[in-house]
Structure 1
Amino acid sequence: MQQINHTSSYYAASANASPARPSLKGDIETDICIVGAGFTGIVTGLTLAEQGYKVVILDAAKVGWGASGRNGGQIINGFSREIDYIEETVGHDGAMALASLALEGGNVIRENIAKYGIECDLKHGSVLAAYTERQMKDIADTIALWKPLGRDGIDLLSTSDIRKHVGTDKYVGGWLDHNGGHIHPLNLVLGQAAAAEAAGATIYEQTRVTRVQHQLDTPVVHTEGGSVTARYVVLAGNAYLGKTVKELYPKILPASTQIIVTEPLSDNMARDILPTDMCVEDANYVLDYYRLTADKRLLFGGGTVYGGEDVADVEKALRPNMEKLFPATRDLKVDYGWQGNIALTWSRLPHVGRLGKSTYFAHGYSGHGVTSSHMMGRLVGAAVHGDASLFDVFAGMPARSFPGGQLLSVPLSTIGCWWYSMRDKLGI
């Protein structure tokens, strides 16, 4: 099998030291077998290893190779759908249970960083930026919906307020979430993997899963070089699980997003662009997101390509939007550019549940993967250990397949994306 290494990203170039891990050879038995060594799989494995379970984690490439090691690094709280939609879907009690988890993912991240001493450039605060008055109304309505449910720490920002945080005149306002933040995501997951191994977990890299016999009382995970028989299996491959488990394939749609990172900024330019060093995302349907890295580079991301296809030139795709916001960046060199896949669901809520008696899955975070994956890692761990109360709220949500499968869902989603993008541009 050809060795699969991390994509050529800023994160890979600035990653903390991490050991090369072996691939699985032969047939083994364990308590827990987890497919996927990203945030969901590693946090689940860490949670269960610390409970005394024998844990094996498999990845086709390396720890954090997928979305967990190449995302925008933003701690964005909540879900990709608002609480009123969630209440319509799961009822009042279910919505209240999920509302209590709005900050859980960020809390897990901060707890892990503190407990295990993970060096991953944690910074605090995030800004949601509005281009139009319609977007400002939506932001104000969202704050009003969440406030009675105990989600505090959010300030509405006027036009003058937001310019204290973002050095552009393109926004009419937004919000500041004091519970948001940003991190170096690859270093976070590498640190969590080291903590899981210290707790007794075993991680196999370069180990592609070919088949999962989840219908058996004791499921078996087959790989190219062996197999794992386990009391419980957790499927955490997200957008990169592909067709390995046919029951899950129609429920998610891969979509690629792109990121560029500039050369280091001068101190003055860094202060002019992001005076308070918070991360920012805008309120457009196809949004841009950006932040400063620890060494004061501008990391700028955006774009959506349904089906997970790569764009030909990442810098060409993103640079125009970056320069519109910050004209001073026109003379900056772009040192890194990469792309990767996220997993969307039809409802834009996570797809969570069980296959058979003892195979769990969680994926489809629809753009909120940094926080949602940490929340689900903890909830899956709790469910396996015996408390499935919150896991079952997610598992009880209806999960529609994309109409026509991925063959038709890609063009349909692209048309929908175009429509909502036009609405954003027209301010309607």
Structure 2
Amino acid sequence: MKTSAFTPHASSYYAATTNSQPARPVLAEHLDVDVCIIGAGYTGLSAGLHLTEAGFKVVIVEAARVGWGASGRNGGQIVNSYSRDLDVIEARYGADTAGALGAMAFEGGRIIRERIARYSIDCVLKNGGVFAAITPGHFTHLQKQKALWERYGHTQLQLLDANATRQIVASDRYHGALLDMSAGHLHPLNLALGEAAAFESLGGRIFEDTPAIRVERRFRPIVHTPQGSVTANFVIVAGNAYLGNLVPELAAKSMPCGSQIVVTEPLGALADKLLPQDYCIEDCNYLLDYYRLTEDKRLLFGGGVVYGARDPAHIEAIIIPKLLKTFPQLANIKIDYAWTGNFLLTLSRLPQMGRLDHNIYYSQGCSGHGVTFTHLAGKLLAEVLQGQATRFDAFAKLPHLPFPGGRLLQVPFTAIGAWYYDLRDRLGL
């Protein structure tokens, strides 16, 4: 049996502090199962775990390794709702759609916590997340966001003025903040590995270094890989930003974008002065910064967007100025890790779920809210395969629009739009 040991994880802090994981095989046979899932990130793992719990025979094929993409590289923050909030959804699509999506907007974080508790996943979960207002206008927005979320039943929220915010984060940048105690942070790669172990403990099988190279659409679809294939009753496409051109109609409606992260050397006692409550933080800019402490008292700081997902040559040059603008007291700090990872952007900034055929389903395009939404998506995919389509269809009915100008122009058009919003951020509008 050929085992997977050939595609390493990105050279990140997470990879350097990962829990042990078993050697997983490359698919070199022809299998027949209930469900074949393409992609062993959070969406695929969440769907696979829900389905195996329901008694389905499930195989996951992964082009690299479990959690190799965004699931193992992100900022590790549990952030509620969607990249476009419920007021925008209501204005665009009506009260009924907003009500349906609003009822699920805070479910992803609950699913994560339930998985961690049920399967004893060691991923350093910490509760509490903060939206930080850089301008007075941001703080006004947070006041409205609190009222909006409470209207949809979310009550674990507290508005903080500038003085109270400084007790949470040692920076003079912020006019106030919104604290969400149902948010939090964790080690994302270890969460993925723990979910994979739970899936395998229930009889699920994962094949690494096994890219799907073709999906044969037929009464029982076949997923072809370089050395094998999987025939299934259902296929779930869960490659997200790393799907490539396997399904061209999905690629036309989404765009991979890169985000960059650096991690400092251990800060010791200084870490507790920077973030005394150990909450995670993200600011309210359109091109936002996000940061938190790691278990060993380093500062993990991320931000920046590279449209089209090319890897920037100088990650530190992008992120360090942002870090020092927030924490000038770290001017001489050493950076031990720097990496980039891709998330998938949609034109609407809302996730896309749907059917490619009566037995081929997909979920993609979390647009920056992937940690929580992917866990909800996995549950919805498991529901629809069991004949419960109502919640899945609430997302499937949303318009999945292609980028103007097709794939050739999606990067420049999106970058122009981002430049406009970045200018607004800089002017404090």
Structure 1-normalised TM-score?
A: 0.98
Instruction: After TM superposition, give the deviation of residue 323 of structure 1 in Å.
Output: 1.2
Show the counterpart of 1:256: 258
SS of the equivalent of 1:331 reads coil
Is 1:158 the counterpart of 2:164 in the alignment? Answer: no
Mean Cα displacement is larger for which, 59-68 or 328-337?
Answer: 328-337
Instruction: After TM superposition, give the deviation of residue 332 of structure 1 in Å.
Output: 1.5
Is 1:204 the counterpart of 2:201 in the alignment? Answer: no
Once residues 220 and 245 of structure 1 are traced to their aligned partners in structure 2, the CA distance between those partners, rounded to angstroms, is 14
Instruction: After TM superposition, give the deviation of residue 28 of structure 1 in Å.
Output: 1.4
Alignment of 1:248-397 (within 5 A): 248-267=250-269, 269-397=270-398
Cα deviation, 1:54-96, whole Å, max 9, x if unaligned, reads 1000000000000000000000001111212212344322211
- Give 5+ residue unaligned stretches, structure 2: none
SS of the equivalent of 1:217 reads coil
Is 1:77 the counterpart of 2:75 in the alignment? Answer: no
Once residues 347 and 218 of structure 1 are traced to their aligned partners in structure 2, the CA distance between those partners, rounded to angstroms, is 32
Instruction: After TM superposition, give the deviation of residue 27 of structure 1 in Å.
Output: 1.7
SS of the equivalent of 2:99 reads helix
Instruction: After TM superposition, give the deviation of residue 2 of structure 1 in Å.
Output: 9.3
SS of the equivalent of 1:43 reads helix
SS of the equivalent of 1:248 reads helix
- Is the 1:307–1:406 contact (alpha carbons within 8 Å) kept by the matching residues of 2? no
Once residues 24 and 88 of structure 1 are traced to their aligned partners in structure 2, the CA distance between those partners, rounded to angstroms, is 47
Once residues 46 and 89 of structure 1 are traced to their aligned partners in structure 2, the CA distance between those partners, rounded to angstroms, is 34
- Is the 1:90–1:396 contact (alpha carbons within 8 Å) kept by the matching residues of 2? no
Cα deviation, 1:352-382, whole Å, max 9, x if unaligned, reads 0011111110010000000000110111111
Once residues 126 and 142 of structure 1 are traced to their aligned partners in structure 2, the CA distance between those partners, rounded to angstroms, is 14
- Is the 1:73–1:182 contact (alpha carbons within 8 Å) kept by the matching residues of 2? yes
Instruction: After TM superposition, give the deviation of residue 386 of structure 1 in Å.
Output: 1.7
2:349 aligned partner, one-letter code? R
SS of the equivalent of 1:6 reads coil
Instruction: After TM superposition, give the deviation of residue 383 of structure 1 in Å.
Output: 1.0
Instruction: After TM superposition, give the deviation of residue 316 of structure 1 in Å.
Output: 1.6
Show the counterpart of 1:229: 231
Number of residue-to-residue matches in the alignment: 426
Instruction: After TM superposition, give the deviation of residue 388 of structure 1 in Å.
Output: 1.3
- Is the 1:42–1:196 contact (alpha carbons within 8 Å) kept by the matching residues of 2? yes
Cα deviation, 1:27-73, whole Å, max 9, x if unaligned, reads 21110000000000001001101111110000000000000000000
Once residues 219 and 5 of structure 1 are traced to their aligned partners in structure 2, the CA distance between those partners, rounded to angstroms, is 30
User: Which residue, out of 133, 136, 139, partners 2:136?
Assistant: 133
Show the counterpart of 2:23: 20
- Give 5+ residue unaligned stretches, structure 1: none
- Is the 1:258–1:337 contact (alpha carbons within 8 Å) kept by the matching residues of 2? yes
Once residues 177 and 407 of structure 2 are traced to their aligned partners in structure 1, the CA distance between those partners, rounded to angstroms, is 35
- Is the 2:352–2:395 contact (alpha carbons within 8 Å) kept by the matching residues of 1? yes
Q: CA RMSD in A?
A: 1.1
SS of the equivalent of 2:256 reads strand
Instruction: After TM superposition, give the deviation of residue 155 of structure 1 in Å.
Output: 1.0
1:233 aligned partner, one-letter code? V
Is 1:6 the counterpart of 2:9 in the alignment? Answer: yes
Show the counterpart of 2:152: 149
Once residues 384 and 273 of structure 1 are traced to their aligned partners in structure 2, the CA distance between those partners, rounded to angstroms, is 46
- Is the 2:5–2:23 contact (alpha carbons within 8 Å) kept by the matching residues of 1? no
Show the counterpart of 2:173: 170
| Overall identity of the aligned pairs, in % | 52
SS of the equivalent of 2:115 reads helix
2:100 aligned partner, one-letter code? A
Once residues 88 and 226 of structure 1 are traced to their aligned partners in structure 2, the CA distance between those partners, rounded to angstroms, is 48
Instruction: After TM superposition, give the deviation of residue 174 of structure 1 in Å.
Output: 1.6
- Is the 2:30–2:230 contact (alpha carbons within 8 Å) kept by the matching residues of 1? yes
Once residues 163 and 35 of structure 2 are traced to their aligned partners in structure 1, the CA distance between those partners, rounded to angstroms, is 52
1:334 aligned partner, one-letter code? I
Once residues 377 and 356 of structure 1 are traced to their aligned partners in structure 2, the CA distance between those partners, rounded to angstroms, is 18
Once residues 208 and 341 of structure 1 are traced to their aligned partners in structure 2, the CA distance between those partners, rounded to angstroms, is 18
Cα deviation, 1:118-140, whole Å, max 9, x if unaligned, reads 00000000000111011111111
1:150 aligned partner, one-letter code? G
- Is the 1:102–1:151 contact (alpha carbons within 8 Å) kept by the matching residues of 2? no
SS of the equivalent of 1:209 reads coil
- Is the 1:89–1:397 contact (alpha carbons within 8 Å) kept by the matching residues of 2? no
Instruction: After TM superposition, give the deviation of residue 406 of structure 1 in Å.
Output: 2.3
Once residues 124 and 84 of structure 1 are traced to their aligned partners in structure 2, the CA distance between those partners, rounded to angstroms, is 26
Instruction: After TM superposition, give the deviation of residue 227 of structure 1 in Å.
Output: 1.1
Once residues 148 and 343 of structure 1 are traced to their aligned partners in structure 2, the CA distance between those partners, rounded to angstroms, is 29
1:51 aligned partner, one-letter code? A
Once residues 85 and 171 of structure 1 are traced to their aligned partners in structure 2, the CA distance between those partners, rounded to angstroms, is 25
Show the counterpart of 1:241: 243
Once residues 243 and 371 of structure 2 are traced to their aligned partners in structure 1, the CA distance between those partners, rounded to angstroms, is 18
SS of the equivalent of 2:105 reads coil
- Is the 1:351–1:394 contact (alpha carbons within 8 Å) kept by the matching residues of 2? yes
Is 1:121 the counterpart of 2:124 in the alignment? Answer: yes
Cα deviation, 1:279-319, whole Å, max 9, x if unaligned, reads 00000011110000001100000000100011111112111
